[in-house]
Structure 1
Amino acid sequence: MSTSRRKRTEEDEFIDAEIPDDDAPIPEAPREPLHGLVALVGRPNTGKSTLFNRLVGRRVAIVHDEPGVTRDRHYADATAGTKRYMLVDTGGLDPESDDPMRQGIARQVELAIGEADVVVCVLDARAPVTPAEHAELGLLRRSQKPVIYVANKADNPRLETEATDLYRLGMDKLLSVSALHGRGIGDLEDAIEAALPREPRIEPREDEDAIRVALIGRPNAGKSSLVNRIFGEERMLVDGRPGTTRDAIDILVERRGRKFLLIDTAGIRRKSKVHKEGSPIEAVSVLKAIRAMERAEVVVLLCDAAEPIAEQDAKVLGLAVDRGTGVVIALNKMDLLDRKTMDKAEEDTRDKLSFVPWAEVSPVSAKTGRGVDRLLDQIASVSDVYRRRVPTGELNRFFEQVLATHPPPTHGGRAPRLFYITQAETSPPLFVVLASDPEKIHFSYRRYVANQLRKTFKLDGVPVRVKYKARRRRELKASTEKR
């Protein structure tokens, strides 16, 4: 007993000394390109949130028996076969309701349908058909989007048989599933894979040298003013063309010897405004930001320095980190604040966005131009890191020093062996470590290695992703001999 207590204490001391105390997620390997957006729609209490969690593979959406719990959309990556897609959970749709809140939800659902590539209509296998379902299906048919009809809560063969009554609504095919128990989920994923676009939604790159920058933020943050300021002065090349989503514009501009492709997006409103006014704007603004992120290598979150960081700011920035993009946080309207207030705004920003301690916070004034050149330099620097490749020799000299200083902690009486590290990909950087027992490497040690990589090779501004891979003994021997 004393031996196990001593080992645990030593490991705790190691973690406390070397691992930053933050909630930053451990970066994973880069995902495949996004094939599209899939929206879950349906009447209240049909089990959309449970199905959302089932398809995503983890508990994300709030689930409750009370109708109408889901009022805001939830967004998460999911995979169907070989295709990755963004899954969107929507509030309960009741087209015939005269309740202002329900009407607001209905407008948001309609806009989510408009942005989606595939719609999954979730029906209740145990409930009788009502006029509201007819109105709902009429809305989906008018959208002219691919629709997959699902009879949820078919928890057993008897309920699956009863669900055939839903064919009275006029659909050609109905999938019976149980989101709670997992019945029929494989068939649903096959249907989603077949309905998604064959190729990923990636815009052609007209200029490979241009740094693709997605500008996101709330409407009052001064995003348009910043865009105008960037390409309105000393411009050498400016080109505007329609983007992939409504109200988005791509602007190609050359400044300070570099080309920037600015991807402007609709403003993202705070949730309190959405709830108070029942506005549908927020319903699609996040979707547009997601589409912009899929095309960008650097995301600039523009905030009003005089306003506190909102939950939506953190949520969207988290989506950018999840996609492996570089990140720069810009605090606008510095011309309206004194030095002390500006310093306080920077401190509060870092505190509320503590999950990205490696992201630069840059004060700017779109109105006067102060700080804009520095912001562009930071974007260019992050882009260079995003595309950087570290030579394998340098990586392994670094790795030998890490192992000599702090080898991995023991697990179950023995320590995992780490043999070799290499950079597998750029844009964003992905490092692969060959190990004997990857599953036994403590999450804190994984974070330590990522932090040391960032520190040693100055990988600021981008998520550092490290994948631990097991190899058979003979493969390990071959890899060692190559060194």
Structure 2
Amino acid sequence: MKSARRKKKEEEEALLDQESLTEGDAPIPEASRAPSYGLVALVGRPNTGKSTLFNRLVGKRVAIVHDEPGVTRDRHYADAIAGNKRYTLVDTGGLDPESDDPMRQGIARQVELAIAEADVVICVLDARVPITPAEHAELGLLRRSQKPVIYVANKSDNPRLETEATDLYRLGMEQLLPVSALHGRGTGDLEDAIEAALPKEPRVEPPSHEGAIRVALIGRPNAGKSSLVNRVFGEERMLVDSRPGTTRDAIDTLVERRGHRFLLIDTAGIRRKSKVHKEGSPIEAVSVLQAIRAMERAEVVVLLCDAAEGVAEQDAKVLGLAVDRGSGVVIALNKMDLLDRKTMTKAEEDARDKLSFAPWADISPVSAKTGRGVDRLLDHIANVADVYRRRVSTGELNRFFEQVLATHPPPTHGGRAPRLFYITQAETSPPLFVVLASDPEKIHFSYRRYVANQLRKAFKLDGVPVRVKYKARRRRGAE
């Protein structure tokens, strides 16, 4: 018999393996600029396989999938193609209309918003589960919406289950499509039905993510990341609950504010690794992995800390993950509405002390609840993104470098000082500078740090980690 620890490890490995596509899946080209024919919402009760079907239709593993009900909570958007029509597919949380749990009620509101904005709704039913009163309530909601609905009997993995699924016709639909999202069975018929149900003419093309500032919101659980997204977006885009761990998937939200376009990536709260392994579920482990990957595709990472609780050691570790990945950084102290000015000043000083390894990062007090400081935070993010993308000309760099060498040449090593010839910027996003030198290995780390600090000061590179690489200059005639 397997131990609980071994079983949990196998579940984590199975979830992490979702990153690989099943043979035959065709990823949707992200660069496709074909017109969109509308929005299709997946709705259904918990654990009917909506996220598995979402991944299948999109053609890549986007949403977290697990046997535990209630994994998906927020609206999750991705592009998909049915026939010759590109559309936006929306995954939603499990709908339980009769629940009085505040989180379930919040999920129900998210589902209702998805239905309201959809052109077509796919109602996902479980072919293996008997009909309950909740299904009748769900179908009543869909009929009242007066939207085109495609009814799907998911988990029809074989002919026997497909036959048993006909019992669902008692709910009163005219047509029911048996599919197996897990194995791909029947999804071709479903795509044909989606293509037929979508509008005949393309809708106005939604704003492209291209050129938007990619911003990952990270931090410990319950720091207010989802509340901040909702505040910037202007509506309840993300489910918010006082219980930590509400957000699981990394969710993208495109918004235009302050003259800039931001792609906000809300992520799950990151707890200490020991707590995740001892107390957390396999789902939490994958949520944390998604949060880390969100940092890798972001230009700017906003570390959101609870100002009332104060910055903790875990906040410093999370910030270290962002710095290691070369991201631009803004530190936001949330819940400033709970503190007076004196306490807020002390919280800023405490944050600066505990996050002293990144003194170049802005600290921005904010209240996601009231909106105070949000505009200033967005301005900081835009400024850091500008620095992140900035390129300094080689001429400017070498004029700067001449002054540095004249003021403070590299110290001698073994009776001989390394020679530094010139500097150039090799990359942006984030900035990478390359210095050609005679003996790079002999340049002391303190001098390397000095050059990086002078670069930051001279070219106003606050908010981003400055990388300087020292490279040996080839001698003439050397291969």
Alignment partner, residue 380 of structure 1: 382
Tell me which amino acid in the other structure corresponds to 2:3. S
2:212 match: 210
Residues 269 and 282 of structure 1 are in contact (CA less than 8 Å); yes or no, is this contact kept in structure 2? no
Q: Using the TM superposition, give the Cα deviation of residue 425 of structure 1 relative to its aligned residue in structure 2, in angstroms.
A: 1.2
Q: Using structure 2 for the length normalisation, give the TM-score.
A: 0.55
Structure with larger Rg: 2
Q: Is the 1:271–1:312 Cα contact (8 Å) retained in structure 2? A: no
Q: What SS does the corresponding residue of 2:476 show, helix, strand or coil?
A: helix
- Structure 1 match to 2:470: 468
Cα distance in 2 for residues equivalent to 1:475 and 1:404: 30
Whether the aligned pair in 2 keeps the contact of 1:270 and 1:310 (CA below 8 Å) is no
Structure 2 residue identity aligned to 1:373: D
In structure 2, what is the equivalent of residue 286 of structure 1? 288
Question: Are residue 360 (structure 1) and residue 381 (structure 2) matched?
Answer: no
| Match status 1:424 vs 2:426 | yes
The corresponding residue for 1:395 is 397
Confirm or deny: 8 A CA contact 1:286 1:316 kept in the other structure.
no
Q: TM-score, normalised by structure 1?
A: 0.55
User: How many Å apart are 1:281 and its aligned residue?
Assistant: 4.9
Say if 1:396 and 1:420, in contact at 8 Å, map to a contact too: yes
Q: Distance between the aligned counterparts of 1:430 and 1:227, measured in 2? A: 31
Cα separation, 2, equivalents of 1:399 and 1:283: 46
Q: Relative to structure 1, is the Cα distance of residues 389 and 373 closer, same or farther in structure 2, using a 3 angstrom cutoff?
A: same
Aligned pair partner of 2:332 in 309, 330, 333: 330
2:2 pairs with 73, 96, 99, which one? 96
Q: Which residue of 1 aligns with 2:342?
A: 340
Q: Could you say what secondary structure the match of 2:360 adopts?
A: coil
How far the C-alpha of 1:306 sits from its partner, in A, is: 1.3
- Change in CA separation of 1:377 and 1:306 when aligned onto 2, cut-off 3 Å: same
Q: How big is the shift at 1:303?
A: 1.0
Q: CA deviation at 1:117?
A: 8.3
| Cα displacement (A) at 1:357 | 1.1
Task: Name the counterpart of 1:230.
Answer: 232
2:461 alignment partner in structure 1? 459
In structure 2, relative to structure 1, the CA distance for the partners of 1:207 and 1:278 (3 Å cut) is closer
SS of alignment partner, residue 221 of structure 1: coil
Deviation at 1:106, TM superposition (A): 5.6
Shift of 1:322: 1.4
Q: Residue 450 of structure 1 aligns with which residue?
A: 452
Q: What residue identity is the alignment partner of 1:399?
A: F
Report the alpha carbon displacement of residue 325 of structure 1 after superposing the two structures with TM: 1.0
The one of the two structures with greater contact order (alpha-carbon pairs below 8 A, sep at least 6) is: 1
* Structure 1: distance between partners of 2:336 and 2:477: 56
Give me the CA root mean square deviation.
Answer: 3.0
1:15-62 Cα offsets, whole Å, 9 max, x none, are xxxxxxxxxxxxxxxxxxxxxxxxxxxxxxxxxxxxxxxxxxxxxxxx
CA drift at 1:270: 4.0
Give the drift of 1:282.
Answer: 3.9
Distance in 1, Cα, partners of 2:267 & 2:441: 40
1:269 to 271, 277, 291: 271
1:142 match = none
Percent identity reads 84
Aligned length: 287
Structure 2 residue identity aligned to 1:442: H
One-letter code aligned to 1:342: M
Listed one character per residue, the Cα deviations across residues 115-153 of structure 1 (whole Å, up to 9, x for unaligned) are 5789xxxxxxxxxxxxxxxxxxxxxxxxxx9xxxxxxxx
* Residues 88-124 of structure 1 deviation map (CA, whole Å, 9 limit, x = unaligned): xxxxxxx7115xx666656545544445789xxxxxx
Counterpart of 1:82?
none
Secondary structure in structure 2 of the residue aligned to 1:268: coil
Taking a change above 3 Å as real, the CA distance of residues 340 and 111 of structure 1, as seen in their structure-2 partners, is farther
Contact 1:105 1:278 in 2 (8 A): no
CA distance in 1, matches of 2:11, 2:416: 58
- Residue 100 of structure 2 is matched in structure 1 by none
CA distance in 2, matches of 1:455, 1:287: 35
> Are the structure 2 counterparts of residues 272 and 341 from structure 1 closer, same or farther at C-alpha, using a change threshold of 3 Å?
farther
The residue type equivalent to 2:232 in the other structure is: I
Q: How far apart are 1:308 and its partner, in Å?
A: 3.2
Tell me, what secondary structure is at the counterpart of 2:302? Answer: strand
Gaps of 5+ in 2: 23-60, 62-206, 239-246
Q: Which amino acid in the other structure matches residue 226 of structure 1? A: L
After the TM superposition, which residues 243-254 of structure 1 pair with which residues of structure 2 at under 5 Å, given as runs?
247-254=249-256
Contact 2:250 2:287 in 1 (8 A): no
Which residue does the alignment assign to 2:127? Answer: none
Structure 1 residue 273: Cα displacement:
5.0
1:187-198 equivalences under 5 Å are: none
Counterpart Cα distance in 2 of 1:353 and 1:232: 31
Range with greater deviation from structure 2 (338-347 or 415-424): 338-347
Match of 1:307 among 284, 306, 309: 309
Structure 2 CA distance for aligned equivalents of residues 383 and 365 of structure 1 = 22
Shift of 1:295: 1.4
Distance 2:229 2:411 in 1: 49
Give, in whole Å, the separation in 2 of the partners of 1:339 and 1:115: 46
Q: In 2, Cα distance between the equivalents of 1:370 and 1:272?
A: 35
Query: 1:352 Cα shift?
Result: 1.7
